[in-house]
Amino acid sequence: MIQNLPVLIILLPLCAALLSLLLTRINRNLSKYVLTLAVLASLVLSVYQLHLVVTEGTIHYTVGNYQTPYGIELVIDSLNALILVVIEIISFMTVLFAENFGVKRKVVQGGARALIGLLITGLLGMTSTGDVFNLYVFLEITSLSAYCLIALGGSRGVVAAYKYMLVGTVAATFYLLGVGILYSATGTLNMADMKDILSQGVYDDVMLVSMSFLTIAFGIKMALFPFHGWQPSAYAHAEPGTRPLITGVMSKVPALAMFRFFYMIYGTDFKYMKLLLVIIGILSCLGMIYGSVFAMMQKDIRKILAYSSVAQIGYISLGFAIGTPIALAGAFLHMMGHAFMKGGLFFCTGAIRYKYGTSDINDFGRIYKQMPLTCGLLTVAALSMIGIPPTAGFFSKWYLASGAAENHQWIYIAVLVLSSLLNAVYFFRLIEKVFIQKSAGLKERWKSEVLELPFTIILPIVVCFVAILGIGIFNVKIIDILLMTLEGVGL
């Protein structure tokens, strides 16, 4: 049982997803309970797995006992284990949250649950796998279920999903091309094996070609500027219940995969690494500024948050571009923090929409009186986006800036500062709307004497609130765990 931990974590949501349609036929609610329990069990296991990895070191698991490099290997190092836990937490909360939204027709309901389960499976798989082709499979599972979930968000969702699908398919193809080129040179698909062969240094040109494909592929998938075209409308119009998962986690996992390719397969000795890092750095800086400027121009809160994600993904890739262990740790801290910040903000907008049915920030006047908890999270998440201590966003920015200072890349520090200030402009505008502007006199759709919202919406909000502050204040614990893996990997 215990030795099968890495695969169990992926299989539980997968089984729940596959059973979902069938169970919905028996009883409308059965598939809901099964999926919730499966994700919860998977969450518990992933926490235990993190404990195991921290105390005993990296877990290598060969699926079906087919030996590497021929079989599929799952590699859980401290980095993966931590990201897995974050994915599981957001997933679990999204599963609870999503039940308050969405379609009521029986068949579609079962299908929607299946899609959420598959999305979770894909994300977990992409994080755990140690095999480049297996990564592709999980990437496609993630993408296909995401296309459908975005399309479920109404007529505009369909258009957004179609756009995403066109671009996403290009990304998947480019990934496959990149991997194919590497496979033709090395004859292996196992990441560790591939690294050994590539480090001989005779494949530099092949690696350069495949690298350009892979950079674009991951760039599209993580919505890195200028490959982000699909992202704002997809984030804004996705099915409201699953938005936190799509916005909070879905673009982070390709970033992790990108990191794996650049640092763990190519390695820092790669001849064109410096060039690659400079390109990624420039794109990140441009993205951070572009995303914030466009976020300022939006009126719909979902669009604001979507463009802000373009900027925030820039922080993560900037960490990769700086490349010192501390900066990499900062990038992953930001990845985790941002999952809760952006996820949390979408929980908030979902909650506001649930209660009042609006997403226009001009209608948000003084809703803090009716929704103190939601507005509390909104404020903390916004402050974290700006990077005000003691929230998570401040500390990730600290590590990124420290790393840049170590490398004497002063321009990156300047961009970080500028980006924080741009964030402050639109997030304080949001705070102004929520706390200061005159009430728009919205009608409540949901009323209760005790709680401001149903329990399944309150719980994610509280968890995100605690997580943003917790990740901030106790960041050193997380950084220590991350450095266990990153120490040898960075520049």
Q: Which residues bind to other proteins, rule: CB under 8 A?
A: 326, 329, 383, 386-390, 394-395, 397-399, 401-402, 404-406, 413-414, 416-417, 420-421, 424, 428, 432, 435-436, 473-476, 479-480, 483
Residue 73 — φ and ψ, nearest 5°?
Answer: -115, 140
- Least distance from other proteins to the Cβ atom of residue 389, Å: 4
Q: Which residues contact 460 (CB under 8 A, 6 or more apart)?
A: 93, 94, 96, 97, 244, 343, 344, 347
Nearer residue to other proteins within complex by CB, 228 or 433: 433
- Least distance from other proteins to the Cβ atom of residue 37, Å: 34
Nearer residue to other proteins within complex by CB, 2 or 476: 476
- Nearest Cα to Cα of residue 328 among 317, 338, 312, 314: 317
| Residue type at 13 in one-letter notation | P
DSSP 225-246: TTS-TTHHHHHHHS-GGGHHHI
Cα separation, 83 vs 262, in Å, equals 18
Nearer residue to other proteins within complex by CB, 223 or 321: 321
HEC readout, 76-123: ECHHHHHHHHHHHHHHHHHHHHHCCCCCCCHHHHHHHHHHHHHHHHHH
Nearer residue to other proteins within complex by CB, 217 or 422: 422
The CB density around residue 445, as the number of other CB atoms within 10 Å, is: 10
- Nearest Cα to Cα of residue 300 among 241, 362, 347: 362
- Least distance from other proteins to the Cβ atom of residue 405, Å: 4
- Least distance from other proteins to the Cβ atom of residue 193, Å: 33
Nearer residue to other proteins within complex by CB, 307 or 395: 395
Contact by Cβ (8 Å): 176, 136: yes
User: Which long-range contacts link 25-30 to residues 24+ away (Cβ below 8 Å)?
Assistant: 25/106, 25/110, 28/106, 28/109
Nearer residue to other proteins within complex by CB, 145 or 384: 384
Nearer residue to other proteins within complex by CB, 180 or 390: 390
- Least distance from other proteins to the Cβ atom of residue 428, Å: 6
- Least distance from other proteins to the Cβ atom of residue 439, Å: 11
Contact by Cβ (8 Å): 55, 136: no
Nearer residue to other proteins within complex by CB, 127 or 292: 292
Nearer residue to other proteins within complex by CB, 230 or 399: 399
Nearer residue to other proteins within complex by CB, 262 or 395: 395
Cα separation, 100 vs 357, in Å, equals 13
| Residue type at 281 in one-letter notation | G
Nearer residue to other proteins within complex by CB, 87 or 378: 378
Cα separation, 218 vs 48, in Å, equals 30
Contact by Cβ (8 Å): 393, 385: yes
User: Is the Cα dihedral 27, 33, 38, 39 positive or negative?
Assistant: positive
The two three-digit tokens of residue 389, written as one number = 């201590």
The two three-digit tokens of residue 75, written as one number = 């590699």
- Least distance from other proteins to the Cβ atom of residue 330, Å: 10
Nearer residue to other proteins within complex by CB, 89 or 422: 422
- Least distance from other proteins to the Cβ atom of residue 474, Å: 8
Cα separation, 141 vs 35, in Å, equals 17
- Least distance from other proteins to the Cβ atom of residue 423, Å: 10
With 0-12 CB in 10 A as exposed, 13-18 as middle and 19+ as buried, what is 200? exposed
- Least distance from other proteins to the Cβ atom of residue 352, Å: 20
- Least distance from other proteins to the Cβ atom of residue 479, Å: 5
The two three-digit tokens of residue 310, written as one number = 């373009």
Nearer residue to other proteins within complex by CB, 357 or 390: 390
- Least distance from other proteins to the Cβ atom of residue 177, Å: 39
Contact by Cβ (8 Å): 236, 300: yes
- Least distance from other proteins to the Cβ atom of residue 483, Å: 8
Nearest 5°: CA angle at 392, between 390 and 396? 110
